Structure 1
């Protein structure tokens, strides 16, 4: 049996120590990676309190943000956009602090005829220099500006095209300001021009730290749909992205043929369409044509199959739509690929739409 010497013992101990160092390094690396890849925070949107305008009550309820009017700070300014809440606060007018909160409502799953949602959000600290510049800008250029309701020339669009709302506290004074669709307002009016300039400067100041929204959007889970204030975004999964790339030649070809396909469909429908068959229809269908130029499939865009199954008129209109579309023939175009379109019938006519992502 070999005798164990002191050098042998020291060598063995050194090997054990090295193994432990390597293991510790691996664990630390994994921890750092895990920290760097932390998911965004999520919170379910309660059915009884669905709020889409970032009201003070909603921000307190969902994100535990203090209502500005109750803030402990002497100066507290909250700037609310379609996907962001930006808080700037201070006890003097020289040094401000603040944060940016990015928010999106993720469509989680369907519940009957409705959907469940989660708020996906993150809260990021602003650099003090950025917060200070933003705070002074709000105090000097926005705090005393007139509200949009007080400007006669402000065009109030019923379509939500982006919000710029403010909750402002200065000492014991509290006020709110709303400037919806400010980018679409006429700059020929002095008050409007000043407001547009001030908000634009504020956005530039905040985004000079980083492009907060773009970075947030990149972090959102793939394969999901999101409400982003006044728009909906679907973020494709990796598999869908790969499939999209794979189908690129097909999409490019169909795009090159789009005008010819649409014109041919419309010309033929004009000749054979009989409005009497679709009286009081208001029906939506998605149809596909094969590369041979004939109807391949027709799907009714109703909420569910049952709504059509037990509705005599809907069944009748579906049959009429199928009969009508079967008469169309665009084989003369000699297509290399099939295509999909949507058609909407109403009392006096129809509209064809192309929702293909080219």
Structure 2
């Protein structure tokens, strides 16, 4: 009997403690921990030099593991593509799909045989391999960069894949919101506000891709970056061997007016039948170039607003109100014009409440 009374009393005590424990837990969740000491940031040393053809070479040595990465970054200036929007992206992907001496299958085999990776884009190439295979990788990279063949069969296949992806994006509320945001943020007369559509991709020819490459892929606007288990002397020899004959030429840089902040709030509404959530995207252009003194402070401020899980947007919309699984913000510095975005997907019935 006494044992039962003891158990019963214990249950009452524990039940009385639950609200207090819950309150403590809620207070704990709402109170961020005190910041620790600022970490000491040690940037790795690097070496930089320029080849006679204008190619800028950057080397960062890291000998912890026997691996090295190479990037050829071509600083292609933004330009309007009009009714052939999407040409640059297609041309970049097509680079890796054949050279004057290798088919796509042969490129794939050469890269896979040494356990390496190699990708291409509208801004160049990126490859990675074990240090002992660096020359084998660079031989393929240089061939892809300097002697692309733009094979017609691969172009048509890539074109169909691109259109298929665009068709799917037309039904994706997030993709729709992103496209509308880009047009409103930059305007249709700025390259960043230009949209690739099924129609514009259909207009692109393989010759358009070849001309994009010939106009823009020049060493005097490019960077060759080597990072990993390699020395600066080795990189200098490599750069001269594989890219020294790359011919420089003038690259046109069109001028575009910097998009200005809207003089008043504009609301763009796109109805999507059957959608169970509203995609909210608040955005505007930002004149914030990389290297500007305000970049670090602005980036930290954005992190507090919506840059990580514990940010204010997440705490308010998710933790406090339960409107969404995630709310974020992003600040993107850019040499031409940057962007700010705050975004979330919320239940339809709380769309207005989420905005306030």
TM-score when normalising by structure 1: 0.25
For the pair shown, the structure with the greater C-alpha radius of gyration is 1
Q: From the two aligned structures, give the one with the greater strand fraction.
A: 1
Instruction: Flag the structure with more relative contact order, 1 or 2, with Cα contacts below 8 A and sequence separation at least 6.
Output: 2
